[in-house]
Amino acid sequence: MQRDLEPPSIPWERRRELGVARAFRDTLVLSIREPKRFYGLLPSEASTWPALVYGFTFEAVVAGTTFLHHQLVGAEELDRSLAPLYPQLRQVVPNAPEMIRTLMSASAIGSLCTAPFTYLFKLYVTAFLTWIGLRLARCLHTPFRRIVQLFAYASWIQLIGLLGVTGDLMLSLLSFVALLALGSYYWLVIVRESQRIDTRRAVVASLYGCLVALVVGCVCGVPPMIALAYVLVSILSK
């Protein structure tokens, strides 16, 4: 009887009772099949780490798959595509092909090693812009950490990015469109259900968040681009 009176909770928060594997599966299935119900279940855990670990699982899958594809197939394909340019490059830099191969390998390893930081950066930036948008729209009803937790539970969307791993133009385009569409939909559902607001106010909060992102991007990105353009013009004019 007591169990029946308990409020519904996110399965991942009951992993000690259900087991890690079953809690992970149930959380993923519920968040995909019934997103409105799932994101209406506010996280009850005080720490954000369990949700972060859950979300990073998907980031690790994407990063690991991308790295393996590069090591097994991608590096060789890219090397073949650049092969016609190697004679000209050797005239300028004798060991240019070797340097390019080393750089590509280092880039793949670097991307794999920095996956945790990339994941946290994307997650917290998204949560922060959402939090700012909700505050500006005056419809913020949950603390920042809960917003972080809910977005972490939506990290499975990143698996769609695996469509573009092969480098195929059509698959990459499909991956981008699918990520944009699903990301926008789930963002709207998370905001609306977690804050208990209507769709109009959720959209307004989204627009505020996008505006803040645009302003920050212009302030942080435009001056370096102007400086880079100035350097290039100076070099080319000599």
Locus of tokens 């670990």: 53
The yes-or-no verdict on residue 22 having pLDDT over 90 is yes
The residue-averaged pLDDT of 167-188 equals 85
CA pair distance 96, 108, nearest whole angstrom? 18
pLDDT bin (cut points 50, 70, 90) of residue 179 is confident
Kindly report, residue by residue over 59-109, the tens digit of the pLDDT: 999 999 888 887 787 667 767 777 777 777 677 777 767 777 788 778 888
The residue-averaged pLDDT of 141-162 equals 91
Question: How many percent of the chain have pLDDT more than 90?
Answer: 39
Average per-residue pLDDT in the chain? 83
The residue-averaged pLDDT of 34-60 equals 88
The residue-averaged pLDDT of 104-127 equals 89
Confidence (pLDDT) at 111: 85
pLDDT bin (cut points 50, 70, 90) of residue 3 is very low
User: What predicted TM-score, i.e. pTM, was given to this entire model?
Assistant: 0.81
The yes-or-no verdict on residue 4 having pLDDT over 50 is no
Confidence (pLDDT) at 234: 58
The yes-or-no verdict on residue 126 having pLDDT over 80 is yes
Judge contact between 182 and 160, C-beta under 8 A: yes
Confidence (pLDDT) at 147: 92
Judge contact between 156 and 56, C-beta under 8 A: no
Kindly report, residue by residue over 214-235, the tens digit of the pLDDT: 888 777 766 666 666 666 565 5
DSSP string across 81-114: HHGGGHHHHHHHSTTHHHHHHHHHHHHHHHHHHT
Cα torsion through 108, 109, 110, 113, rounded to 10: 130
The residue-averaged pLDDT of 32-36 equals 91
Confidence (pLDDT) at 153: 94
